[in-house]
Amino acid sequence: MTLSLGTMLGVARTSTKTRRPRGHIRRRGGSFQVLVYAGVDPLTGKDHYLTESTRDEREAQKILTRLLGQVDEQRNPRTKATLGAALDAWLRTHEAEETTLDGYRGYVRRTIEPALGTVSLAKITPQLLEEFYADLRRCRHRCRDGSPSVDHRTTVEHDCHTVRHKRRPGRPGRAPHDCATAGCVVVACPPHRCTPMAASSIRQVHWILSAALAAAVRWEWIRSNPADNAKKPKQRAPQPEPPSPAEAARIVAAAWEQDAEWGALVWLVMVTGMRRAEVVALRWSDVDLDEGMLAIRRNYVRSASRGIEKDTKTHQMRRISLDAETVTMLAEHWARCDEQLLAIDVQPTEQTFLFSYQPARDAPADPSAVTHRYGRMCTSLGIDSHLHALRHYSATELLTAGVDLRTVAGRLGHGGGGATTLRVYAAWVGESDRRASEILGSRMKRPGPAAP
């Protein structure tokens, strides 16, 4: 069979069109743009090109060779998606509890997206991440050195300098008065002051970025995870600051002076070392006064303005022994709860919450309200403390009294057989060890001549 010249030229044209050029250089004004085909974008389904520009024609040839090498070695990104798109996709698919996801979304919204959300995945490098962490160590808002700014008290549109006028009882409206005499409060947005982000928060930011970029690798958006090679923020050793025994005594006394239920809550946290979410989730079905035992089965947390009951932090139930004084205190608290409920014609049940702000006691006390109330009480006493410090107090007092590490870990609900307890309370474990050495030394008689 003989083909005509026209037919042969047509076949040649067809074969030439079907063969895609791997890369080329085109001139655009006074610069040279390098384009290298890198496959199909898995996110958009369109052709994906690696592009760079230069004004030097020789440099353009070098760029073309480098980009072709990246494609051959599969080191190139496969999409033009931004880091923000990767974070959104990861948050939609990541499996975790709702409260945990809310925390991740907060870090993404406040810290990561304003800084890196619009950056292409192809431009995320270990150096870029480490510079980002350095900025957060200097100022959590990543302000610019020397540039004046303001720390606004709210995110909505507002007047940065306002006066909150005091009004006489029963008098609506702004009656003429002297603000100085009436004690009106001037509210102003203060000038910005750099506040470094905590090391633990920066590590959390790093973990979120690493997890989102790892998902992008699994989805074949990028070839490698730049967070793997970035230097992780340092994890400082925990430094618990429990109140002293004298301060603890003052705190408990002040709590009982406010009201009996508040005193019972503070006392129970101090002697058991429970977490805030665990103590507000307690129901009377968890208390065995006859056996002197307390079962910790759940947490109560707030997420997106709604309450959630869930498992404990370690997803394990634990039982704590109660001393005789605490059993008596809880029995008295049970009697007060019964009296309160019967006064409003509500029958007490085992599902009634130990600590509640509702008359029917059918909802737990708000965790944030408990924290704020404790903070105000300590401030009025001149003690710098927070509610979680009572947990530290319980742990350190037990360890310095010689209680073994595993028992303390069990009461606190620490996992790992005491590894977490040892890491957090290493200084107090050392004190317990010194006391143990004195006990052994006092019980042994050293052989040999008597000491002069």
Q: What is the CATH number of the domain that holds 209?
A: 1.10.150.130
Residue 119: which residues within 8 A CB-CB, separation 6 or more? 82, 83, 128
Q: Tell me, yes or no, whether 88 and 224 share the same domain.
A: yes
User: β-pairing, 306-311 with 298-303?
Assistant: antiparallel
Inside any domain, residue 358: yes
Q: Tell me, yes or no, whether 270 and 350 share the same domain.
A: yes
Inside any domain, residue 203: yes
Query: What domain count does the chain have?
Result: 3
**pLDDT < 50 positions in the chain:** 1-17, 169
Inside any domain, residue 11: no
Position 14 scores a pLDDT of 43
For residue range 196-222, what is the model confidence (pLDDT) as tens digits? 898 999 999 999 999 999 999 998 888
Position 2 scores a pLDDT of 43
Q: Tell me, yes or no, whether 304 and 270 share the same domain.
A: yes
What distances in angstroms separate CA 9 from CA 13, 17, 19, 32, 326, one per listed residue? 6, 12, 16, 32, 98
Are the C-beta atoms of residues 200 and 234 closer than 8 Å to each other? Answer: no
Q: Tell me, yes or no, whether 255 and 377 share the same domain.
A: yes
Half-sphere CA count of 179, side-chain side, radius 13 A: 8
DSSP assignments along 357-388, one per residue: SSTT--SPPPHHHHHHHHHHHHHHHT----TH
Inside any domain, residue 234: no
Inside any domain, residue 427: no
Inside any domain, residue 264: yes
Position 12 scores a pLDDT of 41
Position 126 scores a pLDDT of 94
- Say what the pTM is: 0.70
Inside any domain, residue 171: no
Q: Tell me, yes or no, whether 28 and 103 share the same domain.
A: no
Residue 95: which residues within 8 A CB-CB, separation 6 or more? none
Inside any domain, residue 146: yes
Q: Where are the alpha helices (DSSP H) in 183-259?
A: 199-218, 226-229, 245-258
Q: Tell me, yes or no, whether 64 and 188 share the same domain.
A: no
Which residues constitute the domain of residue 60? 21-72
C-alpha–C-alpha distance, residues 416 and 237, integer Å: 18
Are the C-beta atoms of residues 210 and 225 closer than 8 Å to each other? Answer: yes
Encode burial over 279-288: b for 16+ CB neighbours within 10 A, e otherwise: bbbbbbebbe
Position 124 scores a pLDDT of 92
Q: Tell me, yes or no, whether 250 and 359 share the same domain.
A: yes
At 125, which amino acid appears? T
- Bridge partner residues of 35 (DSSP): 24, 51
H or E, element range at 11: helix 5-18
Report the sign of the C-alpha dihedral through residues 353, 357, 361, 363, in that order: negative
